[in-house]
Amino acid sequence: MSEQTGFTLNETDLPKQWYNVLADSPVPPQPVLHPGTKEPVTPEFLSVLFPMELILQEISTDRFIDIPQEVSDIYKLYRPTPLIRARRLEKVLGTPAHIYYKNESVSPVGSHKPNTAIPQAFYNKAAGTKAITTETGAGQWGTALAMACNFFEMDLEVYMVKISYQQKPYRRIFMETYGAQVFASPTDRTDFGRSLLAKDPENGGSLGIAISEAVEVAAKSGGTKKYSLGSVLNHVLMHQTVIGEEALKQMDLAGEYPDVVIGCVGGGSNFAGIAYPFLRQNLKDGQRTRLLAVEPTATPSLTKGVYAFDYGDTAMMAPIVKMHTLGHTFMPAGIHAGGLRYHGMAPSLSALYDAGYIEAVAIPQVGTFEAAVMFTKAEGILPAPESAHAIRVAIDEALDAKVKGEKRVILFNLSGHGHFDMMSYQQYLSGMLVDYAYPSAAVAEAIQTLPQVEMAGLV
Ligand SMILES: *Cc1c(COP(=O)(O)O)cnc(C)c1O
């Protein structure tokens, strides 16, 4: 065993293809339904929102899809990303476990989100799109797409959840620096936004509402604007698999193979990005790595939600997909992991979880920040509150291995840094942060609003 800490790849090791889990998934994909008719959507319906190349990727069952040269050229600004063995953290914990993390915080915007923002901007540009609309919660996705649209010279409108817009001015300014326009959602720019403001001018917004606004603007633009989503969809998760493909090579360099792969889940993209290539090795190569998704107890869509057809947004304008959901009317508590506050979960991940190929756990935020501070002190990197969920569970795995005297190999995805989340660290450090669990009664109530899907054989 080498004493190496960092396992770096060269530009020439950059993956040439994305991995499409639908080629190998033992659970068949469920249809995507039109929000009005509740019949399977047609490519024509989707083409109002997305360029055809991304629609084809969305429904593709090809195992691998080539990464265009123009996309690789931009990936090279920050990829391949480092794989680090957290030796200092291991020492602090006194564990026989080996802990590795894939550091996606080294991208220019500080998270994994450019892995899909860049190809989405590329395929839009190639299709002649002039402007894109999107939503953002904490601002990570908006920033990534703002960078990508700037590289490909397209306009971008970002509908930013109002509470984040007010609490995170630096993320907004970051997006504006790339040339994006940023609006506090709900806005008076859409019918849906106006209807909400008429009822409650103080509405602080939610990711579901911001998605509705961005979708409405694109849908009513007469074809001049397309819409882009930063998580949940098949093509988004597929673009993120560069993380896991690199990690496979890097674990090989380290001379080890993970017993468990851990990632936090909001819509599921960074977790799928690191986990799906390892799932392929489980399915095709006889490996037995546990794949562990971590969510906050405040938005427990996998562990407490239902697996059902639901709308992707609050206004019921986005397609209906089968997923683990807390209901599209879900209003999240103001926890600090803003990127994890979505009501649903990626359909492919939901199906794999339902069938037992993936494990999930929900954890409260105080222990999460405790782990974040431990990691900051040991490894020097201050993680995003979202990523700290993966760190918490990686630490718990390492402590469990210690109790059992096992040499467990743990790999987690460090999805981003927390340099724009200092207010939440301040709250934690001053003892003001409290735990919150989404009440089961609220889940039961929201589930009453699920769409009635009556097609034979669907549910
Ligand atoms: C957006 C975000 C997440 C959550 O989104 P996923 O699609 O589940 O990955 C997690 N971590 C960071 C740093 C993010 O920006």
pLDDT in tens, 78-103: 999 999 999 999 999 999 999 999 99
Distance from the Cα of residue 447 to its chain's centroid: 23
Contact between residue 161 and residue 132 where contact means Cβ atoms under 8 Å apart: no
**Using a CB cutoff of 8 Å and minimum separation of 24, what contacts does 91-96 make?**
91/378, 92/374, 92/377, 92/378, 93/395, 93/398, 93/399, 93/402, 94/402, 95/398, 95/399, 95/401, 95/402, 96/401, 96/402, 96/405, 96/406, 96/407, 96/408
Residues 97 and 169 in one domain: no
Show the domain range for 192: 18-65+113-234
Decide which of 204, 234, 264 is a domain's last residue: 234
101, 231, 274, 414, best to mutate for ligand 1 pocket (most atoms within 8 Å of CB): 231
Residues 336 and 386 in one domain: yes
Residues 337 and 368 in one domain: yes
Number of alpha carbons in the 13 Å side-chain half-sphere of residue 36? 2
**Strand-pair category, 181-185 with 155-161:** parallel
Tokens matching residue 84: 């680090």
Residues 312 and 367 in one domain: yes
Residue 173 lies in a domain: yes
> Using the 8-state DSSP alphabet, how is residue 139 labeled?
S
Residues 151 and 215 in one domain: yes
pLDDT tens digits along 17-61: 999 999 999 998 899 999 999 999 988 889 999 999 999 999 999
Residues 304 and 414 in one domain: yes
Question: Per the omega criterion (within 30 degrees of 0), is the bond before 40 cis?
Answer: no
Sheet of strand 83-85, all strands in order from the earlier edge strand to the far edge: 6-7, 83-85, 98-103, 409-414, 260-264, 290-296, 359-363
**CATH (domain of 352):** 3.40.50.1100
**Which H or E run includes 295?**
strand 290-296
Domain count, the chain: 2
101, 102, 105, 111, best to mutate for ligand 1 pocket (most atoms within 8 Å of CB): 111
Tokens matching residue 77: 């600004």
Tokens matching residue 233: 């969809």
Residues 310 and 415 in one domain: yes
- Where the chain has pLDDT below 70, the residues are 1-2, 334-339, 454-459
pLDDT at position 340: 77
Decide which of 234, 255, 272 is a domain's last residue: 234
Residues 227 and 282 in one domain: no
pLDDT at position 66: 98
Residue 458 lies in a domain: no
In 3D, which of 214, 249, 311 has the Cα closest to residue 9?
Answer: 249
pLDDT at position 334: 64
State which ligand 1 atom lies nearest to the alpha carbon of 104.
13
Residues 248 and 196 in one domain: no
**Contact residues of ligand 1, CB 6 A cut-off:** 111, 113, 140-141, 231, 264-271, 339-340, 384, 386-387, 415-416
- Ligand 1 centroid to Cα of residue 76, in Å, is 21
Decide which of 212, 234, 256 is a domain's last residue: 234
pLDDT at position 411: 99
Task: Please give the model's pTM, rounded to 2 decimal places.
Answer: 0.96
Report the C-alpha gap between 101 and 419 in whole angstroms.
Answer: 18
pLDDT tens digits along 167-221: 889 999 999 999 999 999 999 999 999 999 999 999 999 888 999 999 999 999 9
